[in-house]
């Protein structure tokens, strides 16, 4: 399969094509008036999400010189296997049983990186193995930085599949210490991060935002960038430097039956950014940060690209440790809409929240059309539902966020500090939040509801007391 030839402008126009349409909440009301319910929209989205298929050609990396002893560097062999597979018109690059040490891997169109049972790709902790610098994002801002461990740029029909393991080999002495295990690393990363944010604020061209060596900005694990028809299925991911699965500006993405276990700093499980038509299905997350976090760029950089995260289906997932189960934000300046989560299980004393929306008036963004149903929560440390306009910088900018049309239906929990933790701005309240047929037991401190207009609870039972009401405050 030949590489994609569409220009960056054409691709972004495709991803952002819906941006000029009417807001999702307005569309939703019109559709409901015509008898189209929100979950009917979810069914239509699902019909569009079709995983890529690959020719039955197989290129085992050991044929190209890879050695599965956990010591020999197989990077060059994997590159040759991918190049050969791509040139042949696509197929599967197969990692057989064994432990294969590698540096960065770059997927090409038509390539399925397949990990057989008992296969492990172990990624080097030598940052030089992730050069040359590539176009990427660090916490929602574009830059030139170390390549993510598995990266693709403007590729089509790509996959990572199988039952093997991707081991980032990150720990307190490698990668994680870049964030701040020690004052030198902390101060250096903070300086680089602030410099990048300042570049984004000034609109410095991305090609001039050159970081890499000496800047301590960790790469993410898996990042297809501006790509179409992406599948990540079956693999286990452990010990990532930072975010684990991070498709950016992609269309038609399926993440299915993946297990993520990584408890380092900023170790989010799955973070689609500014993507359209995404399915996250049957996955297990046990993470050091958010399990699933939906994002669309940070501050001026997110507004520059102006591409929301939209049309996302999350279902049948298990969330263990993490800051939140299903999270929207905080890098959400491009907005979010048409988000559906159902039939998930969340339970851990180290899981802070079930549904969380986090933003502020520096980041802004419009979040609308968020629907959750049939989710079973054992215990969470903070709240079942959190919407917070005071995240990090708080009300310190000129971009008041908008959150509206949020529905939580048939969600149960057994233990939490709060049921609801909703904090908007008095001048800019959260609007149109609906809870229907929910049961929250073991709520220690009730609810926090500040600056919310049209909070409607219908047949909601909290600590055994039935509530049906409408609140505006």
The pLDDT of residue 7 is above 60: no
Query: DSSP per residue over 21-54, as a string?
Result: SPPHHHHHHHHHHTT--HHHHHHHHHHH------
Question: What would the mean pLDDT of 301-318 be, rounded to a whole number?
Answer: 98
Cis check: omega of the bond before 330, within 30 degrees of 0: yes
- Rounded Cα–Cα distance for residues 159 and 213 (Å): 29
- Rounded Cα–Cα distance for residues 152 and 4 (Å): 12
What angle do the packed helices 38-48 and 24-33 form, to 10 degrees? 110
Query: Cα angle at 172 between 171 and 177, to 5 degrees?
Result: 110
- Domains of the chain (ranges, CATH numbers): 25-50+290-473 (2.160.20.10)
- Rounded Cα–Cα distance for residues 446 and 354 (Å): 16
Largest CA distance in the chain: 67
Place of tokens 């969600």: 411
SS3 130: helix
Question: What would the mean pLDDT of 402-431 be, rounded to a whole number?
Answer: 98
The residues assigned a catalytic role are 289, 323
Question: What would the mean pLDDT of 278-294 be, rounded to a whole number?
Answer: 98
Q: For all residues of the chain together, what is the average pLDDT? A: 92
Question: What would the mean pLDDT of 14-40 be, rounded to a whole number?
Answer: 50
pLDDT at 473: 80
Question: What would the mean pLDDT of 130-150 be, rounded to a whole number?
Answer: 98
The 3-class secondary structure across 289-331, one letter per residue, is: CCCEEEECECHHHHHHHCCCEEEEEEECCEECCECCCEEECCC
Chain segment 200-211, per-residue pLDDT in tens: 999 999 999 999
Please tell me which residue, 37 or 363, carries the higher pLDDT value.
363
Across-strand partners of 281? 256, 315
Contact yes or no for 361/331 (Cβ under 8 A) = no
pLDDT at 472: 87
Per-residue pLDDT band at 187 (split at 50, 70, 90): low
The token pair that represents 2 in the structure block: 């030949």
The pLDDT of residue 85 is above 60: yes
């Amino acid at each position: 399969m030949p590489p994609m030839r569409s220009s960056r402008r054409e691709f972004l126009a495709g991803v952002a094509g819906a941006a000029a349409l009417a807001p999702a909440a307005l569309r939703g009301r019109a559709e409901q008036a015509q008898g189209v319910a929100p979950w009917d929209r979810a069914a239509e989205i699902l019909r569009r999400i079709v995983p890529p298929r690959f020719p039955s050609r197989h290129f085992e990396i050991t044929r190209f010189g890879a050695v599965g002893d956990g010591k020999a560097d197989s990077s060059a062999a994997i590159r040759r296997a991918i190049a050969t597979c791509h040139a042949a018109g696509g197929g599967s690059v197969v990692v057989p049983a064994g432990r294969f040490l590698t540096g960065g891997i770059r997927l090409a169109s038509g390539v399925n990186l397949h990990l057989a049972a008992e296969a492990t790709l172990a990624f080097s902790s030598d940052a030089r193995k992730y050069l040359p610098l590539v176009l990427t994002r660090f916490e929602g801002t574009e830059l030139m930085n170390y390549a993510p461990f598995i990266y693709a740029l403007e590729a089509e029909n790509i996959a990572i599949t199988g039952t093997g393991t991707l081991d980032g080999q990150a720990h307190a002495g490698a990668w994680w210490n870049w964030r701040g295990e020690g004052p030198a690393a902390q101060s250096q990363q903070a300086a680089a991060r602030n410099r990048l944010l300042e570049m984004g604020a000034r609109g410095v061209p991305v090609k001039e935002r050159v970081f890499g060596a000496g800047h301590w900005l960790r790469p993410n694990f898996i990042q297809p960038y501006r790509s179409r028809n992406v599948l990540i299925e079956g693999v286990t991911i452990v010990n990532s430097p930072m975010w684990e699965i991070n498709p950016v500006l992609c269309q038609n993405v399926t993440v299915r039956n993946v297990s993520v276990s990584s408890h380092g700093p900023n170790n989010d499980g799955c973070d689609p950014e500014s993507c359209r038509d995404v399915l996250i299905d049957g996955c297990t997350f046990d993470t050091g940060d958010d399990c699933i976090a939906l994002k669309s760029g940070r501050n001026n950089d997110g507004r520059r690209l102006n591409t929301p995260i939209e049309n996302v289906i999350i279902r049948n997932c298990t969330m263990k440790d993490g800051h939140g189960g299903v999270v929207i934000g905080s890098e959400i300046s491009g907005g979010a809409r048409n988000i559906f989560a159902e039939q998930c299980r969340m339970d851990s004393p180290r899981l802070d929240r079930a549904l969380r929306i986090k933003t502020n008036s520096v980041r802004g963004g419009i979040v609308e059309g968020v629907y959750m149903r049939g989710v079973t929560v054992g215990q969470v440390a903070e709240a079942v539902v959190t919407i917070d306009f005071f995240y990090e910088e708080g009300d310190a900018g000129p971009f008041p966020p908008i959150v509206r049309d949020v529905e939580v239906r048939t969600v149960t929990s057994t233990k939490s500090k709060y049921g609801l933790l909703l904090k908007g701005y008095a001048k800019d309240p959260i609007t149109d939040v609906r809870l229907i047929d929910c049961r929250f037991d073991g709520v220690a401190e009730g609810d926090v509801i500040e600056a919310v207009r049209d909070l409607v609870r219908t047949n909601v039972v909290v600590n055994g007391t039935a509530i049906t009401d409408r609140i505006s405050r």
